[in-house]
Amino acid sequence: MKVLIIGGVACGPKTAARLKRLCPDADITMIEKDKLVSYGSCGLPYYVEGVFPDIEELINTPAGVPRDAAFFDKTKGFKVLTQTEALSIDRKNKTVRVRYAQSGKEENSAYDKLVLATGGYSFRPPISGLDLKNVWFMTHPDHAESMKREIKAQGLKKAVLVGAGFINIEMAEALVRQGLDVTMIEMFDQIMPGVLDKDIAMFAAKHLKEKGVKLVLGEGVSGIEGKSSVEAVMTNKQRISADMVVVAVGTRPNDKLARDAGLMCMERGGIIVNAYGQTSDKDIYAGGDCALNHYMNGLMSGPLFVPLGSTANKHGRIIANHIAGLSTPFKGITCSGIVKAFAYAVGRTGIGEKQAKELGLDVETFTWAGPDMPHYMSESKPFIIKMIASRRDRKVIGVQLAGHSNCSKRLDVAASVISLGGTLDDLSDIDFGYAPPYSPPIDPIATCAQMLSNKLDGIAKGVCALEAKSLLDSGKAVFIDVRTSDEFETVTMPYENVIHIPLDELKKRVGELPKDKKILAYCKVSMRGYEAQRILNSLGFDNVRFIEGGIAGWPF
Amino acid sequence: MKVLIIGGVACGPKTAARLKRLCPDADITMIEKDKLVSYGSCGLPYYVEGVFPDIEELINTPAGVPRDAAFFDKTKGFKVLTQTEALSIDRKNKTVRVRYAQSGKEENSAYDKLVLATGGYSFRPPISGLDLKNVWFMTHPDHAESMKREIKAQGLKKAVLVGAGFINIEMAEALVRQGLDVTMIEMFDQIMPGVLDKDIAMFAAKHLKEKGVKLVLGEGVSGIEGKSSVEAVMTNKQRISADMVVVAVGTRPNDKLARDAGLMCMERGGIIVNAYGQTSDKDIYAGGDCALNHYMNGLMSGPLFVPLGSTANKHGRIIANHIAGLSTPFKGITCSGIVKAFAYAVGRTGIGEKQAKELGLDVETFTWAGPDMPHYMSESKPFIIKMIASRRDRKVIGVQLAGHSNCSKRLDVAASVISLGGTLDDLSDIDFGYAPPYSPPIDPIATCAQMLSNKLDGIAKGVCALEAKSLLDSGKAVFIDVRTSDEFETVTMPYENVIHIPLDELKKRVGELPKDKKILAYCKVSMRGYEAQRILNSLGFDNVRFIEGGIAGWPF
């Protein structure tokens, strides 16, 4: 069996290595137009940041051996041809036309099974100046290497990041840590659009600003200016001077070969595959960033383009299995993503609130804020969780998190529950490992699920911070702070007309509350705010809500 | 409705607070024979360690308010009577005989619903000397407070810990960090018996020893000696001098009230309850450490005694819900537990290998060892995962972990998958949040599931470290180290006759391998060991295994 794999970064080598283990007799060749294969491109920002000193680390195995053609031949048993480009596919004769860049020679390469792992490419926005010196995209070790070298050589000081997605958030941290002045521009009115709901994005953005990143939201970039090197970035509203620019406004699937060969692709890009990675031609597979995905549990039906190294590796395994005759259909993705942003982790899995509404799903949400350990543990740190559940069947359909803490733990738990179709009640009952260094007795993600259950059951009546602020601004509501006097004197919400009544005085001072306005109760994390809502309900106040997340979750 | 709750530490206050929120009109009284209620007893070792300076932290709310009778009355709306003991239950007349310790007065207290949250007590082993000065159990803030005070006042230097379970592992770290010489004695031949399989226990024990804890395994304590204060601990083999002792050899359910009242209990202890927390008397509930649990998915049928603060809180919620008329059956537990042991986290969830075999389950296991992030990240740290799955349906039934890393994340994911009945294939496909600071592209727990799948499919042929060592010792096997020469020179297995052939030379040097012995291949983490097994299989060597976990997972 002759297997030809086009593309050598993530899905390609994974397919080849797995297939060789399954079918030692298979004749496997992987071609790659670049000079490098199998590098860890997700590590590029960390090289710039200085987490590791040598770019070769991204190319070498953990044992320090370069993953080059000789390595794959000797240890994995398949052939690798670098600087070798696939020009076209002849499906009828089952050959691929390849060109060897160094010799300029072209020839036909035959296959029984063909795997397209051609990856993605950075979207180039239709603006001027992308080819100026000191403008970088960030997709290849050469980019990171040259950026780091040039920052030092030219003494670059002022970086503008175009786009506020995963890569540029990592780059913001990397460049701030390298001592640069960093401005991040995003055409939408929030960071991580399409990933986070606005409230969680605002909460995370607050942290970026605290760490010195200047955020310019809601402004489109119209051009990059400069004579030979970058001098400024123009938005529709202002000119921002800059001596370097990183453009990261999305990835597009590299589906040209497939499209030219008549394989089914989505009009807006991406190769359509089934759960085994097969394209519309059963002998041609596609995986990694060039291929589309499906959502795991049917809540979204169309193909999704979510390019990730983790998913690319899964595709490789699935494709190798199917070529080897094993039937292991890929269940799909739940659109999980996480990014480290200075001291915060920010992540999401499943479907967001905005997205759920666009899909016409009937959902309820809850936002929890609080510490990740019992308060007596000195390393306890705050974070925020927003959970989205279906009203109809109480299934958890999405979770977004941000904060100082071990968010990745709770994100992965949420991804597990969503993948397996768990409800809020299932999540509440999971027997999480409890010890004070790891969580409170009830893990925050379970507490969040319980509070969302309480909301669905009509017991807890919360409003999210955005709604609370808008009610306050409209004059229809008053804020009531139910913390102790000590706490109130230390910090409070920066608004007029906040009524302060400590929870333990609430019953006797209930006369101080207005009857004609909505009462919005809060405390540090709003557990006492919730308690206040219940107490006021029992005293006949019906128009009471508590502000979810309290002061700890306040994003303004 | 008059609700009486007996016991005020975890399940009791949770039941009362939740019930009051659900039923503001309920007349709720919680009685507690001690002077304190609602304290964080899991924090005791951390007070001794010095993580927080004031024992009051365990009694106060995060806002610094003591959780006393006045607090509960004013903010939660229920009555708390401390130093008030329940003497007996009159089920016919629905009253409880109570005694007020301070006045000595006794009276009958009526109830419509009664909740038993009487907790557990430390098992007192049948040995002499338990009442000597400087012998501590560790279940109440007074114990931690007096221990810390006496260590300083008396200048205590030499601690012996009797029992190697969760509490004493936490105490070992606390006391080492306080500068004491610490010896831990366990009658079984491993730490955390009944929690961990022996291989994982050995791996964790190695770390305790590295941190200076002297382990005495397989020796029963026969007595504690001393005139008035502790001078030594006697085992069946030796005398160990000591100036302080911590005894933590298990907790027993405090079911006396229930038993005396004729409620169904297990003979060996523990109140039997249904999924709503009801005892055999429908108006009497029991929760927390006095009550028994059931395993979540039917693999174990009998009642289980697993006393944990996390479960006690869940019981409180379930009981309050049922009293309030909400039907939210508790799904049960999966026997999860985690402990911080110096730089390691050590945990387990689900059913262990030994336990599975005792239950007659047909299982396969895989042990993975490796880094928790891509190798190029400077904070990458190693850990070990053992996964147990059912051969029949490929369901994940247990996971045990130990190591430097974020084990709690992977433990909670495993608990989620086990709770929801997920298979190895489900676990492989979960869309975990990937970024280099949080995991490799395929999370180790998914890699472990994939390797266990490979084993079930006959592709990967691994042996665990214990079996490898025993095969080596019997002379039936040779070890082959397939790492690079640089790696081999730095560190290798401390045994004779290790054959070193780097993986990339394996094909051409295959003649050097013996034909009459089992070949056991390994590398640092045994991914190359696995590769070597597949290469040798393809060259006609059938009697080849790889050592799961490699050098990183070697527990000897």
CB-based burial label for A99 (10 Å; 0-12, 13-18, 19+): middle
Cβ–Cβ of A531/B21 closer than 8 Å?
A: yes
CA distance B130 to chain A (A): 27
Top-tier CATH class for B2-40+54-121+252-323: alpha beta
Question: The domain at B135-249 falls in which architecture?
Answer: 3-Layer(bba) Sandwich (3.50)
Q: Which of B376, B445, B491, B551 to mutate to test the interface with A (most CBs of A within 10 A)?
A: B376
Cβ–Cβ of B408/A450 closer than 8 Å?
A: no
- Point out the residue among A75, A309, A432 whose CB comes nearest to the CB of B504: A75
Residues in chain A: 556
CA distance B455 to chain A (A): 12
CA distance B238 to chain A (A): 33
**pLDDT confidence band for A301 (50 / 70 / 90):** confident
Task: Provide the mean pLDDT of chain A.
Answer: 96
Size of interface A-B (CB pairs under 8 A): 310
State how far the alpha carbon of A163 is from the alpha carbons of B91, B124, B233, B402, B435, in Å.
69, 64, 66, 40, 18
One-letter-per-residue 3-state SS of B176-220: HHCCCEEEEEECCCCCCCCCCCHHHHHHHHHHHHHCCCEEEECCC
Q: Supply the DSSP symbol for A73.
A: I
Cβ–Cβ of A376/B52 closer than 8 Å?
A: yes
Contact list, B313 vs chain A (CB under 8 Å): 441-442
CA B29 to chain centre: 33
CA B30-A546-B309 angle, to 5 degrees, is 40
- Which residue reads 């689900």 in tokens? B350
Q: What is the mean pLDDT of each run of 10 residues along chain B (556 residues)?
A: 97 97 96 95 96 94 90 93 98 98 97 98 96 96 97 98 98 98 98 96 97 98 97 98 97 98 97 98 98 91 92 97 96 97 97 95 97 93 96 97 91 97 97 96 97 96 96 94 93 89 94 94 94 93 96 93
State how far the alpha carbon of B115 is from the alpha carbons of B27, B283, B321, in Å.
13, 8, 13
Contact status, residue B276 vs residue B323, Cβ threshold 8 Å = no
Contact list, A336 vs chain B (CB under 8 Å): 431-434
pLDDT at A212 over 90: yes
Q: How far apart are CA A422 and CA A440, in angstroms?
A: 22
Contacts of residue B523, Cβ cutoff 8 Å, sequence gap at least 6 = A63, B481, B482, B483, B487, B503, B529, B532, B550, B551
Contact list, A531 vs chain B (CB under 8 Å): 21, 75-76
From A165, A122, A341, A155, select the one nearest A244 (Cα to Cα): A155
pLDDT at A405 over 80: no
Contact list, B345 vs chain A (CB under 8 Å): 437-438
CA distance B88 to chain A (A): 30
pLDDT digits (tens, 9 = 90+) for A76-92: 999 999 999 999 999 99
Contact list, A330 vs chain B (CB under 8 Å): 429
**pLDDT confidence band for A278 (50 / 70 / 90):** very high
CA distance B155 to chain A (A): 26
pLDDT at B210: 97
CA distance B533 to chain A (A): 9
Q: What is the mean pLDDT of residues A500-511?
A: 94
Cβ–Cβ of B371/A62 closer than 8 Å?
A: yes
Q: How far apart are CA B89 and CA B109, in angstroms?
A: 10
pLDDT digits (tens, 9 = 90+) for A419-476: 999 999 999 999 999 999 999 999 999 999 999 999 999 999 999 999 999 999 999 9
Query: Tokens standing for B365?
Result: 């296991």
Element (H, E) at B100: strand B95-100
The CATH superfamily label for domain B337-456 reads: FAD/NAD(P)-binding domain (3.50.50.60)
3-state secondary structure of B158: strand
Cβ–Cβ of B531/A74 closer than 8 Å?
A: no
State how far the alpha carbon of B290 is from the alpha carbons of B254, B256, B316, B322, in Å.
5, 9, 12, 19
Cβ–Cβ of A430/B413 closer than 8 Å?
A: no
- Point out the residue among B43, B349, B416 whose CB comes nearest to the CB of A413: B416
pLDDT at A22 over 90: yes
- Which residue reads 């976990």 in tokens? B549
pLDDT digits (tens, 9 = 90+) for B408-441: 999 999 999 999 999 999 999 999 999 999 999 9
One fold for A135-249 and A462-547? no
The string of DSSP letters for A95-116 reads: EEEEEETTT--EEEEE-SEEEE
Q: How far apart are CA A11 and CA B531, in angstroms?
A: 18
Please name the residue of chain B whose CA is at the shortest distance from the CA of residue A459: B22
Please name the residue of chain B whose CA is at the shortest distance from the CA of residue A350: B431
pTM attached to this predicted model: 0.96
pLDDT at A492 over 90: no
Cβ–Cβ of A416/B437 closer than 8 Å?
A: no
Contact list, B437 vs chain A (CB under 8 Å): 340, 345
Positive or negative, the CA dihedral B257, B263, B265, B267 is positive
| Domain boundaries of chain B, sorted by first residue | 2-40+54-121+252-323, 135-249, 337-456, 462-547
- Point out the residue among A25, A338, A535 whose CB comes nearest to the CB of B435: A338
**CATH for B462-547 (3.40.50.1480, 1.20.58.2240, 1.25.40.390, 3.40.250.10):** 3.40.250.10
- Which residue reads 């300076």 in tokens? B53
Contact status, residue A305 vs residue A270, Cβ threshold 8 Å = yes
CB-based burial label for A490 (10 Å; 0-12, 13-18, 19+): exposed
Q: Which of A416, A431, A450, A456 to mutate to test the interface with B (most CBs of B within 10 A)?
A: A431
Cβ–Cβ of A434/B309 closer than 8 Å?
A: yes
pLDDT digits (tens, 9 = 90+) for B187-208: 999 999 999 999 999 999 999 9
Q: What percent of chain A has pLDDT over 70?
A: 100
Cβ–Cβ of A412/B406 closer than 8 Å?
A: no
